[in-house]
């Protein structure tokens, strides 16, 4: 049973449980996709019914960030822990490397996915990179066909929300992959072009503030966090 936070149903799993579930999906018939909403994406879903449908239609909905965890606790339906998309992806790649599974990287600016591929191959011995494609494309069909021809077991889709969620919902089965994961800006981290928040900031739920300090232009997006908490309080009152 999922935990409802403002209409988005989150799977109540630890990070380790989420990674194990993701790895298991690679062996299940059909196509599955994973989404990792943070408060900003929850707010997008509240405003966009198509995004809400795509997010809730995922095989795994993981809480990316402390904001969702606090929101769920405020509503009296706590989640076990935050499961950041990038940490989920790292754990999944470790299991894929052990089993010789293949990964396709989709997203970011031209050249970034190739750079990420080289770094990930060096970091995860045994991981096969089936192919790469940047996120600057106008038509889905050629990209979908490229993924299908690559024979990839898994695709990391880093197109930003809600584009990546809608893309996976629409195109997932046609790619031939068993699992697709929507991972936002993770491609730049994998490529080494963007630095992750240091452990202190992450442990204290301040990754969002670290990113804001590094990228002040994100302030408009960050304003969705207090709006999310306002909506959580309103939802809490309505449930009484």
Going by C-alpha positions, the residue among 208, 166, 222 that lies closest to residue 48 is: 166
User: Does the pLDDT at position 218 exceed 60?
Assistant: no
pLDDT computed for residue 194 by the predictor: 84
Task: Decide if 152 contacts 103 (C-beta within 8 A).
Answer: yes
Question: What integer is the mean pLDDT of 46-66?
Answer: 96
Please count the residues of the chain: 240
Q: Other CB atoms closer than 10 Å to residue 14's CB: what's the count? A: 13
pTM assigned to the model = 0.91
The pLDDT confidence band at residue 208, using thresholds 50, 70 and 90, is: low
pLDDT computed for residue 211 by the predictor: 60
User: Does the pLDDT at position 213 exceed 60?
Assistant: no
Distances (CA, A) of 72 to 21, 63, 135, 237: 22, 10, 33, 14
- The helix-helix angle for 39-47 and 66-74 (nearest 10°) equals 70
The pLDDT confidence band at residue 221, using thresholds 50, 70 and 90, is: low
pLDDT computed for residue 239 by the predictor: 81
Burial class (CB in 10 A: 0-12, 13-18, 19+), 12: middle
Percentage of residues of the chain with pLDDT beyond 90? 83
User: What is the SS3 assignment for 227?
Assistant: helix
User: Does the pLDDT at position 203 exceed 90?
Assistant: no
């Amino acid at each position: 049973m999922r935990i409802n936070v403002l209409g988005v149903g989150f799977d109540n799993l630890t990070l380790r449980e989420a990674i194990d579930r993701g790895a298991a999906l690679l062996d299940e018939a059909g196509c599955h996709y994973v989404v990792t909403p943070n408060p900003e994406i929850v707010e997008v879903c509240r405003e966009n019914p198509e995004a809400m449908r795509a997010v809730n239609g995922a095989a795994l909905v993981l809480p990316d960030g402390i904001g969702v965890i606090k929101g769920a606790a405020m509503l009296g339906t706590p989640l076990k822990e935050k499961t950041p998309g990038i940490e989920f992806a790292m754990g999944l790649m470790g299991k894929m490397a052990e089993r010789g599974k293949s990964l396709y990287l989709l997203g970011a600016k031209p050249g970034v996915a190739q750079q990420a591929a080289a770094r990930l191959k060096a970091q995860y011995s045994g991981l096969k990179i089936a192919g790469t494609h940047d996120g600057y494309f106008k038509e889905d069909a050629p990209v979908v066909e490229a993924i299908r021809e690559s024979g990839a077991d898994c695709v990391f889709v880093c197109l930003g929300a809600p584009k990546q969620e809608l893309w996976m919902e629409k195109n997932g089965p046609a790619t031939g992959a068993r699992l697709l994961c929507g991972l936002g800006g993770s491609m730049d981290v994998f490529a080494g072009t963007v630095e992750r928040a240091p452990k202190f900031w992450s442990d204290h739920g301040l990754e969002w503030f670290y990113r804001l300090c590094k990228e002040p232009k994100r302030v408009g997006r960050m304003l969705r966090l207090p709006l999310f908490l306002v909506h959580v309080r309103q939802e809490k009152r309505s449930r009484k």
